[in-house]
Amino acid sequence: MNPPLHYAVIGAGIAGLSCARALAESGVHVTVFDKSRGPGGRMSTRRGEGWACDHGAQYFTARDPLFQAELARWQAAGVAARWQPRLTVFDAAGRRADGGEGGEEQARHVGTPRMTAPARLLADGLDLRLQTTVTALQRYDHGWELATAERGLLPEAFDGVLLAVPAPQAVPLLQPVSAELAALARGARMQACWALMLRFVAPLALDFDAAFVNHGPLRWIARDTSKPGREGMETWTLHASAEWSEAHVEDSPESVAAALIAAFCELGGAAPLVWSAQRWRYAITDSAQAGGCAWDAGAGVGLCGDWVNGGRVEGAWLSGHALAQRVLASVRDELRAGLVQA
């Protein structure tokens, strides 16, 4: 009997983990690779002694029934909860307005006790290889082989490779093996986002917990400690706009912090006790591709991610789930044709 199918998923964000989980639950052997120290991608939390701050994705919504069911599973497991911040918006003139983009009726959710918690639930039980940067894909008669920066050529051969990384990082991996998918990734434009994490000795006397900002360099500000399950000292997250971040993408963290803290103070905030900065080089999908995912059945290579499904955490999860279904459909077709053995 032939060994079970073995697929490689590159990227342990929500899209990659969603894809890997769906495949694993259908009996496919999956190995997930990620260059980071932990799973979650931009669903990320920075932690220190006595504080924590979500500096990537700030919240997520659930509109699609499939993702609503997944969210219910997360809530039942205690890794997600509804966040009901006092929300406002600053218009282009810096004036306050009630409510927020999307309306107050829009339910916003966060990971608990940190934004990374849903990703860790998805990753539980998977073959997850962290701090492993895949640098090249090579296809042979016996399957796919992966070259990595840390360990060179890996000994395993895979029946297929599924990429769940930002579009600009997918292009060099795909170009030698699938010109069609490489072109799709090349057509997506992803922009940077500077994030600033602020710590305070006492809560700020502001009558809101989060705000969309359409004035100056900022796009979003949030009192991270207003989210459910958070403990420790008062923390705020500041996100710069995509336009400002792109214009200042190579600036030093110090100059970025000075500009964003000044803008925060103009909105009623204050200078922090301590700050930390994070540059997300590929954070915002400016022109998300349609289709949900992409799968080249002949080559055995696929793509998923928020950038190929309209952005957002929900889009990422749905993209990974959709790619898994495409792969499983191909496997069923091959089984019927007698090309592979279960």
Q: Are 90 and 212 in contact (CB under 8 A)?
A: yes
The full DSSP string for 140-163 is ETTEEEEEETTTEE-S--BSEEEE
> What pLDDT score was predicted for residue 205?
96
The residue type at 36:
S
**Short-list 284, 23, 289, CA closest to 180:** 289
Q: What is the pLDDT along the chain (342 residues), one digit of tens a residue?
A: 466 799 999 999 999 999 999 999 999 999 999 999 999 888 989 988 889 999 999 999 999 999 999 999 999 999 999 999 999 999 987 888 765 454 456 899 999 999 999 999 999 999 999 999 999 999 998 999 999 999 999 999 999 999 999 999 999 999 999 999 999 999 888 899 999 999 999 999 999 999 999 999 999 999 999 999 998 999 999 999 999 999 999 999 999 999 999 999 999 999 999 999 999 998 877 655 556 899 999 999 999 998 888 788 999 999 999 999 999 998 887 666 655 554
3-state secondary structure of 16: helix
Domains parsed from the chain with CATH numbers: 1-57+115-189+288-342 (3.50.50.60), 79-114+190-286 (3.90.660.10)
**How many angstroms separate the CA atoms of 68 and 63, rounded?**
7
Helix (H) / strand (E) containing 118: helix 117-123
Helix (H) / strand (E) containing 235: strand 234-240
> What pLDDT score was predicted for residue 308?
87
> What pLDDT score was predicted for residue 98?
66
| 217 token code pair | 């360099």
Helix (H) / strand (E) containing 54: strand 51-54
3-state secondary structure of 269: coil
Q: Are 31 and 41 in contact (CB under 8 A)?
A: no
> What's the predicted TM-score (pTM) here?
0.92
